[in-house]
Amino acid sequence: MTNQYIRNYCILGHIDHGKSTLSDRLLEFTNTLSQREMKEQVLDQMDLERERGITIKATVVRLEYLAKDNNTYELNLIDTPGHVDFSYEVSRSLSACEGAILIVDAAQGVEAQTLANAYLAVDQDLEIVAVINKIDLPHAQPEQVKTQIEEIIGIPADLALAVSAKEGLGIQDVLEAIVEQIPAPAGQAVAPLKALVIDSFYDSYRGVVLYVRIFDGEVKKGDQICLMAANCNYEVEEVGVFMPEMRCVDKLSTGSVGYLTASIKEINDAKIGDTITHWDNPTLEPLPGYRDTKPVVFCGLYPADTNDFTGLRDALEKLKLNDASFNFEPESSIALGYGFRCGFLGLLHMEIIQERLEREFDLTLIRTSPSVQYKVYKTDGSIVQIDNPAHIPPADQIDRIEEPYIQAEIIVPSEFIGNIMDLCQKRRGAYVRMNHLDATRAQLIYQLPLCEILIDFYDKLKSLSRGYASLEYEIGDYKSSKLAKLDILINEKPVDALSTILHRDMAYERGRALSRKLREIIPRQMFPVPIQAAIGNKVIARETVRAFRKNVTAKCYGGDITRKRKLLEKQKEGKKRMKQVGNVEVPQEAFMAILSIDDDE
Amino acid sequence: MPTFQVGIPRALYIHIPFCATRCYYCDFNTYTFHKELSKVYLSALGKEMEWYVQGLSEKPTLDTIFIGGGTPSILSAESLAYLFNLLHHHFSVSNRTELTVECNPGTVDQEKLEVMRSAGVNRLSFGVQAMQDSLLESIGRVHKSDDVRHSLDLARQTGVQNINLDLIFALPGQTLEQWQQTLETVIRLSPEHISTYNLTLAHGTQFYDLWENGNLKLADNDLEAEMYQYAITRLTDADYQHYEISNFSRPKYEPRHNLVYWNNQAYFGLGAGACGYIDGYRYTNLRGVKEYITEVRQGTPISSQEKLVGRARKAETLMLGLRKLAGISQEAYQQCFGEPIDAEFGAAVEQFKNQDLLQWTENRLHLTPKGLMVADQIFLEFT
């Protein structure tokens, strides 16, 4: 098969607009999977992906399609993650494609993610095939959506396809459009190997399995290859394609997409976006766009049961095999014992890792409040990067603190603009501009401190717009802010795991809310427990958990002593799960209290 | 001097698992009363008694018997007579035996009381709970406060001169004033014994479901403490001895039955869901009435049992003994375990002593007034 019969494409769209369903239909139509093998969301294999309806890791599947022109085409569908946390990964997946199907819900229309995805595709010079999905819905408005596509996204929609993936309508049209509209991959067959690492996963038998797109040349078993950014040498053990199960082939040639294994043990050697070439006859230039991704959101993860520390470390190491983008290092907290400081690409990424640790490794974790990485300029002229509020130097050594900002793009129905602007204002947002997308919707651009969207921002955004507002963001620059460290003292003792960094103007309010919340969470003890919020030496809020005055079980009914004893034992177990802060027993939820504070209360 | 050693028990608990209706706070092992079923149940009880006494050279002599429930007084006079016949047939019951029957106000009549009296019942325990009709209704009780007075008069007339009234405080919506009023009314009725139980929110009760759904407001800890404190002060003033966490009695009317539990002594437990303690084994019978009946016919209805040894048994002894205001005797403990209390629990005892929660008086370890209020916190260290 020469590359004129290859098409490499992806499907982009807002969450719930039908990406996975369309992928399923394409697989079905081309008999890539038999009816028996078919299940919903075939490409999202992780439980988490299936439950949340999101794609976390890229996958690739090859479809063979006999087109109306009587030629059989190799259609490589590259299923990309679909969340802002993974925008770099998405960009690398897209660069492996020549075209993208942009799927838009016929009833919901263009949304923030649609737009952001469309821009990404345009940036990569992809040919965009617009697909209007869910035309079977009673309130579908395909014509209006076409207008939106033209006016908001700015791409012609005259060829937009009307599809119902759910009902299987228009599927062949999509396949034909892929063949006709998306260009065949360019590239020189007779040239040094140049291949892109789209993603990778760890297989305990094969080592790291790389998803690759061949741009120039070809690769086969036995080749000595070089991963250019890592500058390391491996011998190829196996090349193959995804049908969707892995099928070994003789070689991968120009334009094709498949996998490659080379007994790579260290996932850090196989970074997404890196270029693979031959060791002896390397390409001159690596592919553009490679970037070393850096975590932007940090939190402490601690085993609820301190005996699980080793278990947590093993689990983190295992997950890390599959995901080079998060990192962790041991840290300890006076209140929580030994745990890990972990860095993530974003909030979703953090949640996913935590959930996978708990589910796949049966751990119960305490997560401390998420933080960004601050740059602290000290009075002695040095700069320290801090991602754990507990490590901020004393106030008198700090000249200034800088924090990372994001550029947020929010699409919102006109009637909720006021609400959303208020929200951004409250979160220290700086208004950049507003674009009216059409008669009913606007796009708001704000510069926001990243830390302000870490807690509760997305939920607020949704509730203030009855679910209609959507958010995309890009990580921007560091800016200097009036930041301070808020300490919480329980029974006069500062609790390191409860410290946060926040803007001075919010300190009073947040300190009060947090101490109030803690008062609710911490049960009464044998003595009154003062809870204080302080900045430096200054206490800005104080609450007291009163001592319980009575704690005694009334009765042992009918001489049921065993039951009474078991109740006490259960209580004792409960006590053991609490964390000891000085002589105060603090439940685990307390360390996550900040996540459940509503500033409006 | 009570000892913790066990041989053939001298105490017996019989469970009658029937009630007219289930009160909202109740998670006891009880079911809607059916006359026919209750008769079959009683005959099964007879079988179970037989099982315990078979092979013994003589009938076990009992110092104390408690017939509890459920509502034993819901049984007909005829059934009650049958039950007492069984009892006398299998056990040695004398006029020195304390024989208590638990009753609900309004479920006793002259005839039933006569049957009880002539069978040797010398103590009655009434579930009064509160003395405000509105409050009684709100907790699902079927009786009214007037029924209490009436039943009590009847009991006294029949010649039962040892009467306990059970009360509950910290009921949802109950005010301190209502509790005070209940205590005053009850004191005027002059029972020999009063129990005051703090409401426990138990799984599977109507109250629990309401509370879980946010439809029930419980008394807060401060109010509970105030109500409890008030009861202690007021009842002590009225010449009731506060001898156990929840129990008050006129001098010389401390019921033997309760003390069996707190002194860690042996007792037979008979009936569905009943618990017993024989030869160091604590056992629990099957809870379901039908299951109980079926199993009794084939042997024993015991569904689970455990024998505590080592620290757990010492801890249990302490936990029980400390419920008495007189506390636990070092001597008795030492006789049982061959070591003083300090050997196992020295550090905890020392800590609580320093916190003024425990105290030694005449070689007995007991709760201080402060410790009494937070006894569970102390017991936790002894588990």
Which is more confidently placed, A196 or A53?
A196
Contacts of A553 in chain B (CB under 8 A): 198, 200, 375-376
Digit-coded pLDDT (tens) for B318-375: 999 999 999 999 999 999 999 999 999 999 999 999 999 999 999 999 999 999 999 9
Tell me the average pLDDT across A258-281: 91
Same domain assignment for residues B364 and B254: no
Residue A40 has pLDDT above 70, yes or no: no
In CATH, what number is assigned to the domain containing residue B19? 3.80.30.20
Of the residues B245, B262, B279, which one is the last residue of a structural domain?
Answer: B262
One domain for residues B236 and B328: no
Q: Residue A50 has what pLDDT?
A: 59
Residue B6: pLDDT above 70? no
Select the more confidently predicted residue: A47 or A398: A398
Do B226 and B322 belong together in one domain? no
Query: How much is the average pLDDT of A361-385?
Result: 93
Is B128 in the same domain as B204?
yes
User: pLDDT at residue A597 above 80?
Assistant: no
Q: What is the pLDDT of residue B2?
A: 41
End-to-end CA distance of chain A: 65
Question: Quick one: CA dihedral A425, A430, A433, A435, positive or negative?
Answer: negative
Best interface-test mutation with B: which of A527, A549, A573, A577 has the largest number of B CBs within 10 A?
A: A549
Interface of A with B in 564-593 (CB under 8 A): 564-565, 568-569, 571-572, 575
Indicate whether B169 belongs to any domain: yes
The answer to whether the beta carbons of residues B108 and B73 sit under 8 Å apart is yes
Sort out which chain B residues have CB atoms less than 8 A from A551's CB and list them: 221, 373-377
Residue A509 or residue A601, greater confidence: A509
Nearest to B266 by CA among B326, B320, B194: B320
Kindly report, residue by residue over A117-136, the tens digit of the pLDDT. 888 888 889 999 999 999 99
Question: Of A450, A448, A452, whose CA–CA distance to A430 is shortest?
Answer: A448
For A527-537, write each residue's pLDDT tens digit: 999 999 999 88
Q: Does one domain contain both B15 and B96?
A: yes
Q: With cut-offs at 50, 70 and 90, classify the pLDDT of residue A556.
A: low
Instruction: Report if residue B271 sits inside a domain.
Output: no
What average pLDDT does the structure give for chain B?
A: 94
Cα separation values, A74 from A69, A185, A267, B141, Å: 14, 11, 29, 77
Q: How far is CA A454 from the centre of its chain?
A: 12
Q: What is the pLDDT of residue A601?
A: 47
B259 vs A contacts (CB less than 8 Å): none
Instruction: Kindly report the average pLDDT of chain A as a whole number.
Output: 89
Higher pLDDT, A570 or A303: A303
Chain A CB contacts of B373 under 8 Å are 549-552
Q: Is B15 in contact with A558 (Cβ distance < 8 A)?
A: yes
Given a cut of 70, whether residue A565 has pLDDT beyond it is yes
pLDDT digits (tens, 9 = 90+) for A158-190: 889 999 999 999 999 999 999 999 999 999 999
Residue A4 CA, chain-centre distance (Å), reads 35
Question: How far apart are the C-alpha atoms of A97 and A94, rounded to whole Å?
Answer: 5
CATH number of the domain where residue B343 is located: 1.10.10.10
- Residue B128 has a pLDDT of 97
Looking at the predicted structure, is the pLDDT value of residue B14 above 90? yes
- Percent of chain A residues past pLDDT 70, beyond the cut: 94
| Domain contains B65 | yes
- Share of residues in chain B with pLDDT > 70 (%): 98
Residue A587's CB: how many other CB atoms inside 10 A? Answer: 15
pLDDT tens-place string over residues B69-94: 899 999 999 999 999 999 999 999 99
Q: Residue B5 corresponds to which tokens in the numbers above?
A: 């050693």
Is B13 an interface residue toward A (CB < 8 Å)? yes
Please indicate, yes or no, whether residues B234 and B372 belong to a single structural domain of this protein. no
| Closest C-alpha among B266, B174, B236 to residue B372 | B236
Contact A122, A204 (CB under 8 A): no
Total domains in the fold of chain B: 2
CA distance readout (Å), A99 to A126, A187, A515, B225? 5, 15, 53, 73
Residue A438 pLDDT: 78
- pLDDT category, A600, cuts 50, 70, 90? low
pLDDT of amino acid A562: 85
- Residues 507..526 of A with a Cβ closer than 8 Å to B: which? 524, 526
Range of the domain at B362: 310-380
Calculate mean pLDDT across residues A195-207: 90
**For residue B4, what pLDDT band results from cuts at 50, 70 and 90?**
very low
Q: What is the mean pLDDT of residues A547-557?
A: 78
Specify the pLDDT at position A526: 86
B225/A549 touch (CB, cutoff 8 Å), yes or no: yes
**What is the mean pLDDT of the segment spanning B32-61?**
94
Q: Answer yes or no: do B179 and B71 share one domain.
A: yes
Confidence tier at B1 by pLDDT (50, 70, 90): very low
Residue A267: pLDDT band with limits 50, 70, 90: confident
| B135 and B202 in a common domain | yes
Which residue among A555, A562, A564 places its CB closest to the CB of B246? A555
- For the four alpha carbons of A11, A15, A19 and A24, in that order, the dihedral sign comes to positive
pLDDT of residue A249 exceeding 50, the answer is yes
Q: Determine the pLDDT at residue A427.
A: 93
- Among B262, B291, B322, residue at a domain's last position: B262
Report pLDDT for B131: 97
Q: What is the pLDDT of residues B300-315, one digit of tens each?
A: 899 999 998 889 899 9
pLDDT level of residue A462 (50, 70, 90 thresholds): confident
Asked if residue A445 has pLDDT above 60, the reply is yes
Burial of B57 (0-12, 13-18, 19+ CB in 10 A): exposed
pLDDT at A553 over 80: no
Mean pLDDT of A263-282: 90
Best mutation target, A520, A550, A560, to test chain B (most B CBs within 10 A): A550
> Looking at the partner chain, which of A526, A559, A560 has a beta carbon nearest the beta carbon of B374?
A526
Chain B interface, mutation test: which of A552, A569, A578, most B Cβ atoms within 10 Å? A552
> What does the pLDDT average to over A496-520?
91
Same domain, B143 and B226: yes
Separation in Å, CA of B2 to nearest CA in chain A: 17
Q: Are residues B254 and B110 in the same domain?
A: yes
Has residue A1 got a pLDDT over 60? no
Q: Do B380 and A550 touch (CB under 8 A)?
A: no
Q: Are residues B64 and B163 in the same domain?
A: yes
DSSP calls for B72-130: GGGS-HHHHHHHHHHHHHHSB--TTSEEEEEE-TTS--HHHHHHHHHTT--EEEEEEE-
Poorest-confidence range of A152-161, A465-474, B255-264? A465-474
Band of residue A55 on the pLDDT scale cut at 50, 70, 90: low
Of A551, A556, A557, Cβ closest to residue B376? A551
**What whole-number distance in Å separates Cα of residue A501 and Cα of residue A260?**
45
Structure ipTM: 0.84
pLDDT of residue A385: 94
Judge whether B39 lies within some domain. Answer: yes
B198:A550 CB<8 A: yes
The CA distance from B72 to the nearest CA of chain A, in Å, is 13
Query: What is the chain A residue with the closest CA to B355?
Result: A526
Claim to verify: residue B227 and residue B375 sit in the same structural domain: no
Which two tokens mark A295?
A: 């975590």
- pLDDT band with cut points at 50, 70 and 90 for residue A81: confident
* Tens-digit pLDDT profile for residues B126-171: 999 999 999 999 999 999 999 999 999 999 999 999 999 999 999 9
- pLDDT at residue A39 tops 70: no
In a domain, B371, yes or no: yes
Q: Please report how the helices B110-118 and B145-158 are oriented relative to each other, as an axis angle in degrees rounded to 10.
A: 40
Q: What gap in Å lies between CA B136 and CA A479, rounded to an integer?
A: 66
Task: Note whether A529 and A523 are within 8 A (CB).
Answer: no
- Asked if residue B268 is part of any domain, the answer here is no
Specify if B188 maps to a domain. Answer: yes
Q: Does the beta-carbon distance from A559 to B200 stay under 8 Å?
A: no
Reading the block at residue A323, the tokens are: 């995901």
**Better-scored residue on pLDDT, A553 or A133:** A133
Radius of gyration of chain B (CA): 21
Task: Look at B383 and A568 and tell me if their CB atoms are within 8 Å.
Answer: yes
At B157 the pLDDT is: 95
Q: Is residue B185 part of a domain?
A: yes
Instruction: Report the run of H or E that residue A506 belongs to, with start and end.
Output: helix A504-521
What is the reported pLDDT for A480? 95
**A555 interfacial to chain B (CB closer than 8 Å):** yes
Whole-angstrom distance, CA of residue B109 vs CA of residue B103: 11
Residue A427 and residue A452: Cα distance in Å, rounded?
6
**Cβ-contact B60, B20 below 8 angstroms:** no
Q: Is the pLDDT of residue A373 over 90?
A: yes
